[in-house]
Amino acid sequence: MSVVFKKTSGLTEKETHYCPGCTHGIIHRLVGEVLEELDVLGETIGVAPVGCSVLAYDYFNCDMHEASHGRAPAVATGIKRVHPDKVVFTYQGDGDLASIGTAEIVHVAHRGEKITTIFVNNAIYGMTGGQMAPTTLIGQRATTAPLGRTAEHSGMPLRVSEMLATIDGAAYVERVSVDTPANIRKTKKAIKEAFQCQIDRKGFSIVEVLSTCPTNWGMTPIDSLKWLADNLIPYYPLGNFRRPGEVK
């Protein structure tokens, strides 16, 4: 009997706490697979955020450090400066990275810190119960925007990848999605390229992954994937914004 599929050694045996249908699990698996395939698991230190993935330190099968809200890039900087030869990554949601942690993410890019960030954008605060994020779309309802977000009151949703791509130290910036099998394969490719960029010491690398939140969006998992494709992707276009060696 031949093995046709094996769970990645990049993840621990621990069962995740994520809601049914949440795409965090897929993204965790992709990161784990990439670290395994690059053969760097034993040389990797990950930084978990505050938010839904606050317990990610139990799931990734490598040394992990739990940061405070938004500060994962600063914590990762401290680790990377001590261990410049290790692979260091942060795994952050949109409340963590695009709101309370904007200074940290901008400056980790600004310094060209040789770390990789996996930025999971589902346009809402998940862990705390569906509050509005800077990435929440116009008209999208949230527990702190009960009638839907308006531009007049809260401004237009923040496009993080486009913003970071203007910073010279950001060597690799790509936005991907996990709404279809094809897009999941592209996501894995991007995550691999981002880590390779770090290993090659090109600079800061970030992959923004458009993700779902069936629980707080109030939809079934299937409807969530469709809503992502119909609403998030048009506002947050997929694609590469920056690659090493490119002059923008």
Window contacting another protein (CB under 8 A); options: 25-33, 59-67, 203-211, 228-236: 59-67
Number of residues assigned to the chain: 248
Candidates 42, 218, 237, 239; binder of another protein (CB under 8 A) is 42
Cβ atoms 26, 20 nearer than 8 A: no
Binding mask 109-148 for another protein (x = CB under 8 A): -x--------------------------------------
The gap from C-alpha 210 to its chain's centroid, in whole angstroms, comes to 8
CA-based nearest residue to 73, from 54, 49, 57: 49
Q: Does 8 bind another protein (CB under 8 A)?
A: no
Residues 74-113 that bind another protein (CB under 8 A): 74-83, 86, 103-104, 106-107, 110
Residue 67 or 98: the one with the smaller Cβ distance to another protein is 67
Window contacting another protein (CB under 8 A); options: 35-43, 129-137, 175-183, 189-197: 35-43
Query: Minimal distance in Å, beta carbon 195 to another protein?
Result: 14
Candidates 19, 25, 37, 65; binder of another protein (CB under 8 A) is 65
- Compute and round to an integer the Cα radius of gyration of the chain: 17
Burial of 15 per CB tally in 10 Å (0-12, 13-18, 19+) = exposed
Window contacting another protein (CB under 8 A); options: 51-59, 130-138, 184-192, 234-242: 51-59
d(CA 209, CA 161): 10
Quote the tokens at residue 69: 């809200």
- Binding footprint of another protein, residue count (CB under 8 A): 37
- The single-letter DSSP state of residue 60 is B
Residue 82 or 151: the one with the smaller Cβ distance to another protein is 82
Cβ atoms 176, 183 nearer than 8 A: yes
Place of tokens 């938010």: 51
d(CA 238, CA 240): 7
d(CA 42, CA 56): 17
Query: Minimal distance in Å, beta carbon 77 to another protein?
Result: 5
Residue 32 or 157: the one with the smaller Cβ distance to another protein is 32
Residues that bind another protein (CB under 8 A): 12, 41-45, 47, 54-55, 57-58, 60-68, 71, 74-83, 86, 103-104, 106-107, 110
